[in-house]
Amino acid sequence: MTSQFKSKVYDYNLVGAFVLMLLIFSVWVCVDSLRTSAFLFSFTGGVLGLSYSILKQHLEETRLFKELFSDFNKRYDSLNGPLHVLISIPVNQSLTLEQKITAYDYFNLCAEEYLFYRKGYIYPEVWIAWSNGMKIIFNSPQIRELWNQESKTDSYYGFTPPS
């Protein structure tokens, strides 16, 4: 399910439940053979149960998003200083082993963010903001070169840096 579709379902859950209840009530009133309390109560219970399940799923996904968002930002914050050092290194200077490890940690962070975005747990507007930040880091020639070598391992969940 795409995040846009899920967003619409979550946003209009109660409206949808109300419309379904009106439809069920209309059928109940118009069709004599269905005018039983068992019909009305069972379908009403089904609609309310479905609506509750959708609301609960939304709450759980919101909690997961908050947890992921906090974790990813905390990890980025720990890399932020060393990454800015990396992007300021002159083009003719090679990266040290420690700087390469920082870059590998950043590649892993980006790939994990991408994986959760692709699975629909990271909101598109958050992904766009993160991608814009990635552009700055991946514009560094040394980081781009290291990425080109490292990406051959195909161990980054299909992530490709934004350009």
On whether residue 161 sits in a domain, the answer given is no
End-to-end CA distance of the chain: 27
158 secondary structure, DSSP code = T
**pTM score of the predicted model:** 0.81
User: Alpha-carbon distance 119 to 4, whole Å?
Assistant: 12
On whether residue 55 sits in a domain, the answer given is yes
The total number of structural domains in the chain stands at: 1
Query: Token pair for residue 68?
Result: 């992921």
On whether residue 36 sits in a domain, the answer given is yes
On whether residue 159 sits in a domain, the answer given is no
Determine the pLDDT at residue 8: 84
Q: List the domain range (segments joined by +) for residue 123.
A: 3-153
CA 80 from chain centre, in angstroms, equals 22
pLDDT tens-digit profile, the chain (163 residues) = 677 788 788 888 899 999 999 999 999 999 999 999 999 999 999 999 999 999 999 999 999 999 999 999 999 999 999 999 999 999 999 999 999 999 999 999 999 999 999 998 999 999 999 999 999 999 999 999 999 999 999 899 999 999 8
On whether residue 158 sits in a domain, the answer given is no
**Phi, psi for residue 93 in degrees, rounded to 5:** -105, 135
Q: What is the pLDDT of residues 31-61, one digit of tens each?
A: 999 999 999 999 999 999 999 999 999 999 9
- CB atoms < 10 A from the CB of 55, how many? 14
Determine the pLDDT at residue 1: 63
Determine the pLDDT at residue 146: 96
On whether residue 136 sits in a domain, the answer given is yes
